Structure 1
């Protein structure tokens, strides 16, 4: 039985850990070195659950709202947090691109116009 790789040090709390030894389950060959983590190993269990739901629903937030029981702003916030952990968050998101995403969601039938207005107001994009 294996253990999950901790994404931060249980003693000092730093996230500067590395994998020191890897071993083949079949032949027992082992290597010791300073191996880097895959960036997805930095995600918490909740974040991994979110990513799985995101992929399963093909990024459709309306479906994710139903499945996870969370509001659009909460889902959006969690996605932004995951992007930051993975080092994929843009410094300053273009407000017009956010509005375009909301318009595309209306066009695809993912949200209603009233829901779009609410989202835009919550994001300060009136």
Structure 2
């Protein structure tokens, strides 16, 4: 898969969230094993999974907004950095929620 094919929802994740997903897959989807690996309780891991799910769902919906899709596409094409794209999108969402 090349850079242009990376789904926008993946780009919205932080590095530690991607690492968490990797460990989840490597533990065959076992939240119990994941909790052991992180040395935390099962409910703590479940909360983290739920937050990542919400973030993915939110970003999947946001992809339908033309401005956000445009900014993400610019980041995918290396026309702006991913960090700058995140800041622009965060500012855009903040401004929209204030109106």
Rg comparison, structure with higher value? 1
Greater RCO (Cα-Cα under 8 Å, separation 6 or more): 2
**Larger fraction in strand:** 1
**Larger fraction in helix:** 2
